[in-house]
Amino acid sequence: MTTLRNLPSVEQILQTDAAAKLIARFGRPLMLTAIRFTLDEVRARFKSGEITALPLQDLILVQAEATLTAWTKPTLLPVINAAGVILHTNLGRAPLSAAAIRAMDEVSRGYSTLEYDIVKGMRGSRLIHAESLLQKLTGAEAALVVNNCASAVLLILSALANKKRVIISRSQLVEIGGGFRVPDVMKQSGAKLVEVGTTNKVRLADYQSAAEEPTALMMRVHRSNFKLVGFTEEPELKDIVNAAHQAGVPVVDDLGSGALYDTAKYGLAHEPTVQESMQAGADVIVFSGDKLLGGPQAGIIIGKADLIAKIKKHPLARAVRADKTCLAGLSATLLHYLKDEAEREVPIVKMMSLTLEQVRGRAEAWAAELGHGTVVAGESTVGGGSLPGESMPTFLLSLEVDSSERFLRALRKNNPPIIARTENDKILLDPRTVLPEQEDVLLAGLKNILKNI
């Protein structure tokens, strides 16, 4: 009669040559955990009657190997974005330039001057690496880089407005991706939010009236992920700044996307730029590094030297500081703008600047190479909470398949996964968001799927 006593022990399994090979691949501690996990599964299935015969030792090792492979398989993988969303938040937003990748790689491989002054031969500050570039680019007196835009807002308000009043338009208390709400982030700082205006209308007089009481800041938050249309009214930033300064109150402008260029140049709506906020007189400006700027994830704070100094000294600044790879990648990205080469070097700017003829040429070349599909007109979007409702004309490779869902699953199982979209049961692939160096791999994957599905 078969009983659980017939199962080999952990030690017996470990003595085999097959186990030794797995230990060499995965390490002894993880191997032990996998064997115990596999044996526990066998015992549970045997007790429940799901199996009536116990697996042989070799099969137990096969199952343990499958478990180890699953446990150690990375979940953060590179993908090919053929969906036509330039700043695809779910796919990691902005791909980096070659120079940014090199800079991040170089400071990661060994030691660096992160907090070391190479001239003086003594401790330095990590805050200087991107600050001088941001000063030159924007004309700001000072700058600080932290790990993302939400933490930048939290830090600013914690440093400048804890337990103090912050005036903001009710129409700007937005919710950003992942269910995070701007007012919730702001309240974590201890600031007392003073909402002015209504959902659709706020007037300058609303700000002025609220500022009659002692106030730490006025704040504008750019509605980067939705539009307010119809019966609306809102003062311009320069007018808010003038009213605030008359009341002796600084202004914080949360731009979100942080464009350093005019998006209207590429046939899109105009996105407020960092330079425009500077010209309007905002005292502190905050924006993202990984959206329209096209760099690594970062929260960038620029503005008046005295205010930035207070922000730098706040204890929270250390908790949200940027690491060496972020600072290296961001610095390299900012250099592209300083050298007026962003359109040539920054991937998302290159994508937006592609002409229709260039996009159509790539789509036609794909169709010719595959011997399958047609080229159709379509739309690309910016995404990433930027330019809501805006799209760019593009050309798509349209594939007619038996089952669009099955084909999309096959695309996702490809190595690397290919992310596309579907419309009217057709698979659509947008060349605008596929990096040139990915084309060969994309086409090889498509050929294989078309052949086998």
Pair 308, 362 in one domain: no
* 50, amino acid identity: E
Residue 250 covered by a domain: yes
Are 326 and 228 in a shared domain? yes
- Count: domains in the chain: 3
Single residue among 341, 373, 394 that ends a domain in this structure: 341
Q: Are strands 165-169 and 217-221 parallel, antiparallel or unpaired?
A: parallel
Give yes or no: residues 260 and 177 share one domain: yes
β-pair type (251-256, 116-117): unpaired
Assigned domain for 103 exists:
yes
CATH number of the domain bearing residue 444: 3.90.1150.110
pLDDT at 177: 60
Q: Where are the beta strands (DSSP E) in 257-385?
A: 284-288, 299-303, 374-383
The answer to whether residues 128 and 171 belong to one domain is yes
Residues 118 and 178 in one domain: yes
Judgement on whether residues 313 and 170 belong to the same structural domain of the protein: yes
pLDDT attached to residue 383: 86
| Residue 150, in any domain of the structure | yes
What confidence tens digit (pLDDT) does each residue in 92-136 have? 999 999 999 999 999 999 999 999 999 999 999 999 999 999 999
- Domain of 193, CATH number, reads 3.40.640.10
Say how far apart CA 399 and CA 163 lie, in whole Å: 58
For residue 418, the enclosing domain spans 80-88+348-452
Query: Could you say which of 310, 326, 341 is where a domain stops?
Result: 341
Identify whether 372 is part of a domain: yes
Looking at the domain assignment, is residue 93 inside a domain? no
In this structure, the answer to whether residues 235 and 130 fall within a common structural domain is yes
Which helix (DSSP H) or strand (DSSP E) does residue 143 occupy? Answer: strand 142-146
Answer whether residue 414 is part of any domain.
Answer: yes
Domain presence at residue 8: yes
Q: Of 288, 308, 341, which closes a domain?
A: 341
Secondary structure in 3-state letters for 400-446: ECCCHHHHHHHHHHCCCCEECEEECCEEEECHHHCCHHHHHHHHHHH
Nearest to 328 by CA among 95, 78, 99: 99
407 with 290, same domain: the answer is no
What pLDDT, on a 0 to 100 scale, did the predictor assign at position 1? 62
Residues 266, 354: one domain? Answer: no
What's the token pair of residue 380? 């690309």
What pLDDT score does 180 carry? 62
Q: Are residues 231 and 268 both part of a single domain?
A: yes
* Regions of the chain where pLDDT drops below 50: none
Are 158 and 42 part of one and the same domain? Answer: no
Q: Is 114 exposed, middle or buried (0-12, 13-18, 19+ CB in 10 A)?
A: middle
> What is the pLDDT at residue 2?
72
Residue 300, domain member (yes or no): yes
Q: What is the pLDDT of residue 176?
A: 63
Q: Are residues 336 and 381 in the same domain?
A: no
